[in-house]
Amino acid sequence: MDYILDVQSIHTFIGQYHILQGVDVQVPRGSITALLGRNGAGKTTTLKSILGLTPPREGKVTFDGRELNGMRSFDIAALGIGFVPEHRAIFRDLSVEENLKIAERRKGDLDRKREMIFSLFPDLKRLIGLPGTSLSGGQQQMLAIARALVPDNRLLLIDEPSEGLAPVIIEHMMDAIRQLSKESTVVLVEQNFLVASQLAETYVIIEEGRSVTSGKMSDLKQDKATIHRYLGAA
């Protein structure tokens, strides 16, 4: 199997806390993979460890055949990894346009992608001149995803895209993620199992800092016992 991202038993410490105690994630190229698990299981830390924002102390992360250990996080991102963080991290002091523009890695990235972004998120077109603060939660989420699309990213790490959004907007956002997964591979952290199960093809469940099980989403949907054990009532 062709994995674009291969995380092998990483251990990550934040301060003195041993947060990740052996996480394995294999992401097939072109798929949507969901990281599942309860609150505080270590899903977000896994994403940050991949990006080098919280560098793993042990284990190995390989992206497209290249080992990422020891690289600085901006060099890792520049290899073609987009990040949509949990709380969107829209820059308040920048306009919507600037929020997209800052993600450019080469001059003209935004102009090349503008049409594609507006077709995914038509709302952004009329918001483009506004300051980043004036957006609603849903619009901020759109912008955060759009920002990750500006450069040519081969992998997108999306953290809790549905958090705090109204159902209608969640539908819209799921459509958008399906669309963009045609262009690049997606790793999704999602608390909402309904959303994750509809989007993802493969899954990894993380429990107390360890990856406990993984496989095809279609199998997991049948496996009520596993869902109940690791994800609570779903």
Partner 1 sequence: MTQFLRKNLILILTLAAFLAVFIAAGQGMERKDFVITLLRGLSVGSLTFLVASGFSLIFGLLDVLNLAHGTLFMIGAYLGWTVYVRPDTFVDVLTPLALLIGGFTLSALWTKLSALLPASARTNKIFPWALLLVAALLAFTVITRYPISSWDTENFSQAPGSYSLMLDQGAPLAPPAVSFDKINPALALLGLLLASSLGAFGLSLFGQQTQSPKLTVKEFIPFGLLALIGFGAFAANDALTAFLTGLSNNWLFLIALLVATLSGIGLGALMESTLIRPLYSRPIYQLMLTLGMSAIGIEVVRAIWGRPEFVMPKPDIFSGSGQGCPATTLAAWWDKNCSIVLLFEGRVRVYNEIFIPLVGILVLIAVWILLQRTRLGMVIRAGVQDREMVEALGINVRRVFTLVFALGVGLAALGGILAAPSMGLSNAMGESLLLNALIALAIGGLTSYPGAALGSLLVGLLQQFMIKYGQIGIAIPFTEIIFKPTPPIVPASTVLLMVIILLLMPNGLLGKKE
Binding site for partner 1 (CB under 8 A): 51, 53, 70, 72-75, 77-78, 83, 85, 89, 91-94, 98, 101-103, 105, 147, 151
Q: For the CB of residue 199, give the shortest distance to partner 1 in the complex, in Å.
A: 22
Nearer Cβ to partner 1, position 2 or 93? 93
**Which residues partner with 28 through β-bridges?**
3
Q: H-type helices in the chain, by residue range?
A: 43-51, 73-78, 96-101, 109-120, 122-127, 137-149, 167-180, 193-199, 217-222, 224-231
List the strands of the sheet with 210-216, edge to edge: 81-84, 155-159, 185-189, 32-36, 202-207, 210-216
Q: For the CB of residue 128, give the shortest distance to partner 1 in the complex, in Å.
A: 15
Nearer Cβ to partner 1, position 79 or 174? 79
Nearer Cβ to partner 1, position 102 or 166? 102
Taking the CA atoms of the chain, what radius of gyration do you get in angstroms? 17
Nearer Cβ to partner 1, position 47 or 205? 47
Q: How far apart are CA 160 and CA 187, in angstroms?
A: 11
Nearer Cβ to partner 1, position 65 or 70? 70
User: CA angle 198-199-202, nearest 5°?
Assistant: 100
Q: How far apart are CA 1 and CA 28, in angstroms?
A: 7
Instruction: Give the sign of the dihedral formed by CA 70, CA 72, CA 73, CA 77.
Output: negative
Q: For the CB of residue 178, give the shortest distance to partner 1 in the complex, in Å.
A: 23
Q: For the CB of residue 92, give the shortest distance to partner 1 in the complex, in Å.
A: 6
Q: For the CB of residue 141, give the shortest distance to partner 1 in the complex, in Å.
A: 14
Q: For the CB of residue 225, give the shortest distance to partner 1 in the complex, in Å.
A: 37
Q: What is the DSSP letter of 131?
A: B
Q: How far apart are CA 166 and CA 54, in angstroms?
A: 31
Nearer Cβ to partner 1, position 79 or 116? 79
Q: H-type helices in 17-80, by residue range?
A: 43-51, 73-78
Nearer Cβ to partner 1, position 146 or 205? 146
109-120 and 167-180 helices, crossing angle to 10°: 130
Q: For the CB of residue 157, give the shortest distance to partner 1 in the complex, in Å.
A: 9
